[in-house]
Amino acid sequence: MKNWKNEAEAREEIKALVAEYYHSFKEQKKPFEPGDRVSYASRVFDEKEMLSLTDATLDFWLTTGRFADEFEKKFAEWIGVKHAYLVNSGSSANLLAFMTLTAPELGERQIKRGDEIITVACGFPTTVTPALQYGAVPVFVDVTVPQYNIDVRRLEEALSEKTKAVMIAHTLGNPFDLSAVKAFCEKHSLWLVEDNCDALGSRYTINGETKFTGTWGDIGTSSFYPPHHMTMGEGGAVYTNNAQLSKLILSFRDWGRDCICPSGQDNFCKHRFLGQYGELPKGYDHKYTYSHFGYNLKVTDMQAAVGVEQLKKFPSFIERRKENWAFLRERLSSLTDDLILPEPAENADPSWFGFLISVKKDSPVKRNALTAYLEERNIQTRLLFSGNLIKHPCFNQIRNTDAYRVVGDLTETDYIMEHTFWIGVYPGMTKEMLSYMAEQISAGVKALKGL
């Protein structure tokens, strides 16, 4: 048995072995060769994440703890908000953001069952799912190509006396027209929830002021799932500058309770047995008083420990994503007779999640044939999530009911469903990988045209 002098010495020796393990077995050493697998996304990490995770594991504090506290503080400082809270996924972040707006404390602005939420059908389902499950009514608006974001010309048409919020995502890092959407929300006293899960690090400028996406609206959400801009395995965040919303977010995340005691602490407020709440007897334990129908959506400290180190690397991740996107944009520019290449939104500085490509309607090339060609050559492709969400089996039981509403037609949404796909730009990609992808896309277009 090892005779350590103290715990600190033991930790350092264990961590030294972990670092050695990383360099021996996890560090990427084999250079890329054409034909090797090119994933659309992947974790980018080194021994520092593994050492931080080891530290948290040795603490054996299995729920939210010191690493979560550190991450929330540093993430809030970095993105530029007053309040940020970790959750167990980006989908949970969207659920929490939406449910926060159903709190009765919000008075006339409370979202109630039957109220409407303006959104899009071309996106990821968990931007919309919380509203449907609660009994609110999503109002679907078409998008534009090649930005792949909400068509802001349809906003006024989508408005009704029941509208309470706009909840939409910044598509693959490309910000939606925040200037128009924010002005619309302010004009009509609507909540704005920015699903920032695919756009962490993107910036947008309004009237000379530049801020990160996710911070322009009332609430922003992020995902830290492995393919995303940074990772902690599973994980996400909800953030806001609004003190009232901050308190509500924390309540809904932590079982719906009234108490603000940190995990593992009792009587933080010094009034634990002094209050009167609801119809409970006076002095009922405040730690077990529930003001909302909430959840337990917290993250573990082990996940947060990975995030602490990822956050330090994150500015470099953003730059690599931008460089990789620009490289593909330039290398594929000769294919515009057949392909529509993506364009950044006006007034935006995107932190790209992927590189979107649409095959033109009049091209002899077909999307499915091109993606099959690429997949056969070990290049991983993805469609733009749901394409048109309301055409999925999950809508079978509510299709053509008053559970949702569609404004106008969804022509561009359907076009994306049929003709669009994307490839990765994650920071672990090398120029050799990017060149291989560009070469194979070009070769695929020519082959499918019979050239």
- Report, as residue numbers or ranges, the catalytic residues: 228
* 117 and 103 Cβ atoms separated by less than 8 Å: no
Phi-psi region of 200 (alpha: psi -120 to 50; beta: other; left: phi over 0): beta
User: Which residues, listed in sequence order, are joined to residue 141 by a DSSP beta bridge?
Assistant: 120
Helical pair 90-100 and 243-253, crossing angle rounded to 10 deg = 120
* 199 and 127 Cβ atoms separated by less than 8 Å: no
Side chain identity at residue 368, one-letter code: N
DSSP-derived 3-state class of residue 363: coil
Q: Is the peptide bond before 31 cis (omega within 30 degrees of 0)?
A: no
From the number of C-beta atoms within 10 Å of its C-beta (0-12, 13-18, 19+), residue 301 rates as buried
Q: Is the dihedral of CA 226, 229, 231, 234 positive or negative?
A: negative
Side chain identity at residue 211, one-letter code: K
State the DSSP string of 382-451: B--TTSSGGGSGGGTTTTTSTT-EE-S--HHHHHHHHHEEEEE--TT--HHHHHHHHHHHHHHHHHHTT-
State the first-to-last Cα distance of the chain, in angstroms, to the nearest integer: 70
Question: Which CA distances in Å does 6 have to 12, 19, 66?
Answer: 10, 20, 21
* Structure token digits, residue 105: 């404390």
